[in-house]
Amino acid sequence: MRKTNVMIVVAGLNIGGLEVVIANLCRHLDRAKFDVSICCLKVIGSIGRELIAEGYSVHALEKPRGLRNNYVSWLQLLALTRKLGTQVLHSHSPDSLLDVSLCKLFRRRLRVIHTFHYGNYPNRVRQDLRIERIFSRVPDALVAVGDEQKGKIARTFDLPMESLTTIWNGVPTRRESLPSCLPASVRARQRPIIGTACTLIEQKGLTYLLDVAHLLKQRGRQATFVVAGEGHLRGELEQKRSRLGLDDDVVLLGWVDNAGTSFIPYVDIFLLPSLWEAMSVVVLEAMEAGKPVVVTNVGENDRVIEHGVDGWVVEPRDVKSMAAILERLVDDQDLRARAGARAQAKARTQFSVERMVAAYEMLYEEGAVRAPRAPRW
């Protein structure tokens, strides 16, 4: 049987949910049916280096000397597709959508698939919106990672709903945990650990996490909040942490490699107070690890989690509701265990990486039996 040659195209593979999705997709594609390679337009990144160490073909485009931006990246990508005999191009970011679309204009037999990962449409950088508005007419298949996101994309770009396919993100099941990245001082406190893993940016609502921690402390609850991640808000968060008297109660770990297996398995409760999401991979990782999750009502969270059964969903910025739920969970270890077990069972049946990959494989295989369509300008 002849294999289908697939190339995944992305800006880079540093730490993040999008990047984890790509890594999981590469690792679980049926290698008897697909040859997969990755092209990073800007930077390989830590996850890219992991994939290289595992034997995957990862290419980084080299920016021409003297240029601030690589304006010929699409030409380099086109040459790479010809060299490797690529049949399917799968893009995951606005810049990669632009480049794969231009490639298709010169290699019409390429099948092009694009996945949207952003969740806060239409509030997006103007240049990215312009690129997606124009070039979303080119791919043979458009993928949303959630139904809420799908509706927003269709309205923002005036696309028919039927032109978008929803493929929920998925995570590997029954993974072996790596050694804990938690500091010994945190483990020695014998307090419930409330953890989150995210970039330190406005989207993640971490200033409200500090308010929740402060309220719990005022109510006499002994818990340690631990944040795995890095970002431009670190200084602001550290200042607020000190103002609230939480220096001993909130730990900012910085970047953590493989947080899904080195951090999340070692927390007792998972909290993500986001202001918006598409479909959060880290929430699925926490569910798969058997953790009770408390999240905000953004993106697909209220579709993924049944409130009060396998997790809790509150409105963004609702500090009192978050604190009330966490107070119950801190006090009731059995409740944590029951909710975590239900969350794990759901993650393993409804949000497995196998389900996600099978859906993408169907899109890839479709190109082997049907001629790619002409762009919709």
Residues 97-136 pLDDT 10s: 999 999 999 999 999 999 999 999 999 999 999 999 999 9
Q: Are residues 259 and 133 in the same domain?
A: no
Distance CA 68, CA 77 (A): 18
Q: Are residues 193 and 129 in the same domain?
A: no
Q: Are residues 77 and 189 in the same domain?
A: no
Distance CA 84, CA 37 (A): 9
Q: Are residues 280 and 241 in the same domain?
A: yes
Helices (H), the chain: 17-28, 45-53, 73-84, 94-106, 126-135, 147-157, 184-187, 206-218, 234-243, 259-262, 281-288, 301-304, 319-331, 333-350, 353-369
Q: Give every strand in the sheet of 34-43, ordered side by side.
A: 57-60, 34-43, 4-12, 88-91, 111-116, 141-144, 164-166
Closest CA to 19 of 76, 96, 80, 82: 96
Q: Are residues 97 and 228 in the same domain?
A: no
Residue 59 included in any domain: yes
Residue 176 included in any domain: no
Tokens linked to 30:
């049926």
Q: Are residues 193 and 208 in the same domain?
A: yes
β-strands 193-197, 57-60 pairing? unpaired
**What DSSP string runs through 51-70?**
HHHTT-EEEEPPPPTT-SS-
Closest CA to 215 of 346, 320, 58, 67: 320
pTM given for the model: 0.93
User: Contact at 8 Å (CB) between 292 and 336?
Assistant: yes
Residue 139 included in any domain: yes
Q: Are residues 328 and 313 in the same domain?
A: yes
Q: Are residues 153 and 236 in the same domain?
A: no
Residue 177 included in any domain: no
Residue 314 included in any domain: yes
- Give pLDDT tens digits for 235-264: 999 999 999 999 999 999 999 988 999 999
- Give pLDDT tens digits for 148-206: 999 999 999 999 999 999 999 999 997 778 899 999 999 888 899 999 999 999 999 99
Q: Are residues 110 and 252 in the same domain?
A: no
Question: What residues are paired with 58 via a beta bridge?
Answer: 38
SS3 category, 175? coil
Q: Are residues 48 and 163 in the same domain?
A: yes
User: Contact at 8 Å (CB) between 278 and 285?
Assistant: no
- Domain with 106, as residue range(s), is 4-170+353-369
Q: Are residues 59 and 116 in the same domain?
A: yes
CATH number, domain with residue 100: 3.40.50.2000
Q: Say how many C-beta atoms besides its own lie within 10 A of residue 191's C-beta.
A: 16
